[in-house]
């Protein structure tokens, strides 16, 4: 059975990955859609019959064991893994709660790593891994300190894994967008600063480019000139 595994499937870019992968990858038998809430996803437009909904909280060890068990039971061939689940809390390190800051590490770093490691044995030649990182990975960001540091981890981990998996002909693409017009800001209780609003981009575009870059075997997918400039600036100054 050939499948795609997509976390963060209930919203934003994860949901868009479900839509675009469901439409474009006709050889897949199933898409495993993972998030805590899955209500409504079954009515998702497109090839819904192939959707397997897994309502899992990826920060709970018991739910991680459920995912591991499902993989073991079905022994699928994972053609695409998208780690899209993530959360961001904005504010000074001394203002945000300890729980908020650890939640970002637990979900954005630990869970992403764990899902990747669980899926690795089921990936085959030509499989693609897409890790949702961020433009925040390129340089330290006051008021987004833990989030940005976590995304730097995601990108560094992904790029190293990309090299390690070369011999298996599996690629890992770190997706690094700037602000994207999703519910991310509502979920993280973030009031998007006015100066960032003109830079908001549509999730459809970011996801489309990410899939294109993954197919091309790129280790980084950076959508839009502003984030490309941030990356360049960080490389020059850093």
Ligand X SMILES: NC(=O)c1ccc[n+]([C@@H]2O[C@H](COP(=O)([O-])OP(=O)(O)OC[C@H]3O[C@@H](n4cnc5c(N)ncnc54)[C@H](OP(=O)(O)O)[C@@H]3O)[C@@H](O)[C@H]2O)c1
| Cα 185 to Cα 14: distance, rounded to the nearest angstrom | 15
Q: Are strands 171-175 and 30-35 parallel, antiparallel or unpaired?
A: unpaired
From the list 6-14, 64-72, 138-146, 159-167, the region that binds ligand X by CB under 6 A is 6-14
CA distance 33 to 136: 26
Stretch that binds ligand X, among 24-32, 54-62, 163-171, 217-225 (CB under 6 A): 54-62
- Are 147 and 88 spatial neighbours (Cβ–Cβ below 8 Å)? yes
Instruction: Give whichever of 59 and 127 is closer to ligand X, judged by the CB atom.
Output: 59
The reply to whether 87 sits near ligand X by the rule CB under 6 A is yes
Q: Is 173 in the site for ligand X (CB under 6 A)?
A: no
What span, in angstroms and rounded, lies between the C-alpha atoms of 134 and 32?
23
Residue 126 or 193: the one with the smaller Cβ distance to ligand X is 193
Q: Phi and psi (nearest 5°) for 131?
A: -110, 120
x-marked contacts with ligand X along 189-228 as a string, rule CB under 6 A: ----------------------------------------
- In 62-149, at which residue ranges do the beta strands (DSSP E only) sit? 77-83, 123-132
Contacts of 155-158 with CB under 8 Å at 24 or more apart are 155/131, 155/220, 157/113, 157/131, 158/129, 158/131, 158/133, 158/219
Give min distance, CB of 102 to ligand X, in A: 12
Share in percent of the chain as helix, strand, coil (round to 5): 50, 20, 30
Alpha carbons 237 and 70: distance in angstroms, whole number? 46
Choice between 13 and 119, CB closer to ligand X: 13
Residue 107 binds ligand X (CB under 6 A):
yes
Q: Does 174 bind ligand X (CB under 6 A)?
A: no
**Position 76 contacts ligand X (CB under 6 A):** no
Minimum Å distance from CB 238 to ligand X? 19
Rounded Cα distance, 132 and 220, in Å: 10
**Pick 87 or 120: Cβ nearer ligand X:** 87
Residue of 85, 96, 115, 214 interacting with ligand X (CB under 6 A)? 85
Q: Which residues, numbered 177-196, are part of the site for ligand X (CB under 6 A)? A: 177, 179-180, 182-184, 187
Q: Which is nearer to ligand X, 127 or 133 (CB)?
A: 133
Summarize as ranges the residues that interact with ligand X (CB under 6 A): 7-14, 35-37, 57-59, 84-88, 107-108, 132, 134, 177, 179-180, 182-184, 187
């Amino acid at each position: 059975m050939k499948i795609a595994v997509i976390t963060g499937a209930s919203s934003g870019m994860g949901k868009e990955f479900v839509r675009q992968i469901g439409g474009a990858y006709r050889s897949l038998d199933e898409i495993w859609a993972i998030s805590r809430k899955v209500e409504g996803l079954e009515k998702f437009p497109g090839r819904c019959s192939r959707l397997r909904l897994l309502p899992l909280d990826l920060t709970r060890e018991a739910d991680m064991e459920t995912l591991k068990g499902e993989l073991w039971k079905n022994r699928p061939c994972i053609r695409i893994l998208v780690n899209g689940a993530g959360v961001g809390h904005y504010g000074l390190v001394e203002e945000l709660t300890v729980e908020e800051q650890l939640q970002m590490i637990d979900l954005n770093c630990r869970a992403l790593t764990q899902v990747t490691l669980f899926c690795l044995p089921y990936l085959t030649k030509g499989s693609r891994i897409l890790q949702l990182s961020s433009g925040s990975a390129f340089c330290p960001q006051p008021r987004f300190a833990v989030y940005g540091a976590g995304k730097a981890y995601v990108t560094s981990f992904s790029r190293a894994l990309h090299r390690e998996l070369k011999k298996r002909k599996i690629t890992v693409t770190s997706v690094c967008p700037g602000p994207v017009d999703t519910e991310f800001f509502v979920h993280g209780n973030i009031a998007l600063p006015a100066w960032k609003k003109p830079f908001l981009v549509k999730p459809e575009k970011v996801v489309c480019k990410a899939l294109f870059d993954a197919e091309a075997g790129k280790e980084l997918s950076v959508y839009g000139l502003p984030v490309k400039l941030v990356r360049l600036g960080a490389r020059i100054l850093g």
